[in-house]
Amino acid sequence: MEGLAIMTSGGDAAGMNPAVKYSVEYARSLGYKPYLIYDGLRGMIDGNIKEAKPDAVSGIIHRGGTILRSSRSKRFFEYDYRKQAYDNLKKLGITKLIVIGGDGSFRALNDFYHDFKVPFAGIPATIDNDINGTDYCLGVDTALNMIRGNVDSIRDTANSFSRAFVVEVMGRDCGYLAMTTAVTSGAEICLVPELEYDLDRIGNRLRPELENGRNFLIAIVAEGCNMGDYLTRWINDTLNIEARLTILGHIQRGGSPTVRDRLMASKFAVAAVDSLHRGETCNIMVYRSGDFGTLPINRVADSPTPVDPDLIRLCKPLSR
Ligand code: F6P
């Protein structure tokens, strides 16, 4: 029986567990012997690999994070460690891999393929939603709902205490989480790396509102702007309303996967197993304009992430 191993790698994201479950179950139904690699690339090097018995993936669909755990491994960049990882797979008869993670993990598996010809299929999973070629990455919907709940709570206290709140959200260099949050939470200000901002114009826009009875403000700032502290002080000093900064941090990565993340995980998983079963070698599963498909890793890793033009249009007025 051919071995097919599943791993999660890079920043954890909700939806990873449902993707693991469906990959295991669908691979088994096609006649593969499924394996689980624990601790990501590090576990592949250290041989932390176990056969996936049916009970290994039962009762995990609702759990956040990843039961396989994850890591970012520097050792995997060195050939000798990749060779060690290959020997571990070979010993167990594993000839195909599914990696659930971000583009850094896909690139690492691509190097591995070029060394040892072990085909892999990538399932995009990162709350940042910054993988080129796919409109959706697992974990994004859960993260957005987590952020929404927190911003709704912050608005309660902002309104009650007549304050401004600057809320910094994750996303690395990508403003997707911040822009979507700003639109869906009715924020007054949104600063993201993709948009030039103009504090003078923001001041001119909001001052009359504050003078006419507005008693609170919500500003959403992407971590990639590195503006949280500065904007908080600027609002406090320039707009004459007491301001506080809330950095949501890693809370955004946790939580039970939403229905959308569970369903997308099941479809990505089936697409990944099918891709390997068809004999494809280095493809990433993508979801574009409502359809599932595959893209070769080079098209995913080597191009910049396009910005959603609708979100840009909606958020531009909030950045000036
Ligand atoms: O890529 C996911 C992400 O959560 C980013 O949004 C954030 O910048 C980064 O990972 C945080 O990394 P770490 O968990 O290593 O602090």
pLDDT, residue 301, reads 73
* Extended strands (E) in 203-251: 217-222, 243-247
The Cα 317–Cα 287 span in angstroms is 29
**pLDDT grade, residue 300 (50/70/90)?**
confident
pLDDT at residue 306 is higher than 80: no
**Closest alpha carbon to 39 in 85, 93, 4:** 85
The Cα 210–Cα 180 span in angstroms is 25
Ligand 1: residue of 16, 100, 131, 253 to mutate (most ligand atoms within 8 A of CB) is: 253
pLDDT at residue 302 is higher than 90: no
Average pLDDT over residues 242-264: 98
| Residue 192, amino acid | V
- DSSP-assigned beta bridge partners for residue 115: none
> Is 135 a known active-site residue?
no
Report percent pLDDT > 90 for the chain: 95
Lowest mean pLDDT among 235-239, 294-298, 300-304: 300-304
**pLDDT grade, residue 220 (50/70/90)?**
very high
Ligand 1: residue of 12, 74, 170 to mutate (most ligand atoms within 8 A of CB) is: 170
Dist. CA 11 → ligand 1 center (Å):
6
- 3-state SS class at 222: strand
The Cα 72–Cα 84 span in angstroms is 17
Which domains, from first to last, does the chain contain?
A: 3-139+257-303 (3.40.50.450), 142-253 (3.40.50.460)
Q: What angle do CA 128, 81, 137 make, to 5 degrees?
A: 15
What phi and psi values does residue 67 have, to the nearest 5 degrees?
-65, -20
Q: Residues lining ligand 1, CB < 6 A?
A: 11, 126-128, 170-172, 223, 253
pLDDT at residue 249 is higher than 80: yes
The Cα 311–Cα 307 span in angstroms is 8
Dist. CA 243 → ligand 1 center (Å):
26
Average pLDDT over residues 274-296: 96
Q: In angstroms, how far is CA 242 from the centroid of its own chain?
A: 33
Average pLDDT over residues 84-107: 97
pLDDT, residue 183, reads 98
Ligand 1 atom with the shortest distance to the CA of 171: 6
pLDDT at residue 54 is higher than 90: no
